[in-house]
Amino acid sequence: MPRPLPRRLLLLWPLLLPLLPPPASPGPLAGPAVARLGTRRPAGSPGGRGSGVCKSRPLDLVFIIDSSRSVRPLEFTKVKTFVSRIIDTLDIGAAATRVAVVNYASTVKIEFQLQTYSDKQALKKAVARITPLSTGTMSGLAIQTAMDEAFTVEAGARGPTSNIPKVAIIVTDGRPQDQVSEVAAQARASGIELYAVGVDRADMESLKTMASEPLDEHVFYVETYGVIEKLSSRFQETFCALDPCVLGTHQCQHVCISDGDGRHHCECSQGYALNVDRKTCSAIDKCALNTHGCEHICVNDRTGSYHCECHEGYTLNEDRKTCSAKDKCTSGTHGCQHICVNDRSGSHHCECFEGYTLNADKKTCSVHNKCALGTHGCQHVCVSDGEVSYHCDCFPGYNLNEDKKTCTAVEEVRRLLSTEDACGCEATLAFQEKVSSYLQRLNTKLDDILEKLQVHEYRQVHS
């Protein structure tokens, strides 16, 4: 039977179904902490999110439904339809949302546990088979039973490490006949999120005592069981895993990253760090962090970024991080075998000492004329055979020894000398050999001096 006009007053609440304008003055049960639904809403007004709009997040969900004598059979059918419509909006499964139903009046009966059904159709059929218990309204006992028996791991609830929310929706049309304040507080303290739905003669203060904070999101009131089904769209919005990154409600200053199941986290652009609020970003000093990769100098920019610079005498390479010496000849990294010559363009080239030619690698050198260098080691005469080879020869009257460098007087000269004066011949030969030895050593020293003079003269010319 309809209540007086003040009881049909509707307080519009964001995200709920828009209904007809409320009467001129609010009733005593209306308040800012209660969301209420009337009996009708204007044609064409939005009716909540449709099925399939979003994916529900996994829950351990327990319905606690009042089937006392005040709930008539047809009204109880409306309650079961309300439960089934909420189930329709959820992803049901062992790894998704699990559902249990606790039926209560003066006694409490667990119709089925969280682990009983993992199929949506089987679950809805089980809800349809529930029958009223009649008499009494032991709401506190029902909440206690749900906490002690339905929300246990043995009954199918997932443990605290799973991070799966535990949610209970209690539906009642009367005033509890036992104490609910303390047991509801214990349930909330154990991690159960409590929603209270009041119908018709439900006591509003008791609903507020049972529900979780904030009350305007957890307490609902409808005038009759005939409109309770309309609340299903509100619970779909509550349990939906909407993507705040797509909706633009994330409040991330830089970048929003979706983690799935309606969760997200914020990240910052390069050169910035996430602040303690996990939403805003501050520029970081990459030079101080020493992750810049600059070979020489890191310079912070005002934008929170940085750039690399080089020490004096070096230039920044194309990678914008490493440096190359402008004067490689001075730095000793030129790779030239003989002489490094700086070019005006900041580059360099290699050259060779006199008597040498630059090889194809433009760095190493090969002898051009070994006889001219004076390092040949020939006792008498050095004969060039080209740019890189030579052979030794002797003066007339001498033969080249087996070492291919020294020379010995021929036997005919020796015989002539011995015929005329054997003693004189021996003395002469000894003298000649002594002179030859001195000449050979002197020739070697002269060759060394000549080479040093050539190097010194070449450096003077090219300095």
Number of domains in the chain: 4
Examine residue 344 and state whether it is found in any structural domain, yes or no: no
Examine residue 391 and state whether it is found in any structural domain, yes or no: yes
Examine residue 152 and state whether it is found in any structural domain, yes or no: yes
Among 284, 311, 337, residue at a domain's last position: 284
> Do 313 and 424 share a domain, yes or no?
no
Strand (E) positions, 314-409? Answer: 314-316, 323-325, 339-342, 348-351, 356-358, 365-367, 381-384, 390-393, 398-400, 407-409
> Do 66 and 197 share a domain, yes or no?
yes
What's the pLDDT tens digit per position in 240-281?
766 677 667 788 999 998 876 667 899 998 778 899 999 998
Among 171, 206, 239, residue at a domain's last position: 239
Q: Phi, psi (5° rounding) for residue 199?
A: -125, 135
Q: Residues of the chain with pLDDT > 90: what percent?
A: 41
**Residue 31 has what pLDDT?**
43
Q: Residue 283: beta bridge partners?
A: 272
CATH number at residue 389: 2.10.25.10
> Do 220 and 166 share a domain, yes or no?
yes
**Residue 45 has what pLDDT?**
30
> Do 252 and 298 share a domain, yes or no?
no
What domain range is 427 assigned to? 369-462
Q: In the predicted model, is pLDDT for residue 94 greater than 60?
A: yes
**Residue 300 has what pLDDT?**
85
What's the pLDDT tens digit per position in 181-238?
999 999 999 999 999 999 988 899 999 999 999 999 999 999 888 888 888 888 887 8
> Do 204 and 104 share a domain, yes or no?
yes
> Do 141 and 183 share a domain, yes or no?
yes
**Residue 27 has what pLDDT?**
34
> Do 127 and 186 share a domain, yes or no?
yes
DSSP states of 134-199 as a string? -S---HHHHHHHIIIIISSTTTTPPPGGGT--EEEEEEESS--SS--HHHHHHHHHTTEEEEEEEE
Examine residue 228 and state whether it is found in any structural domain, yes or no: yes
> Do 277 and 203 share a domain, yes or no?
no
> Do 199 and 256 share a domain, yes or no?
no
What's the pLDDT tens digit per position in 421-451?
555 566 667 777 777 777 777 777 777 777 7
> Do 92 and 188 share a domain, yes or no?
yes
> Do 280 and 312 share a domain, yes or no?
no
Rounded distance, CA 388 to CA 139, Å?
111
CA–CA distance from 144 to each of 67, 102, 164, 184, 209 (Å)? 17, 11, 20, 8, 15
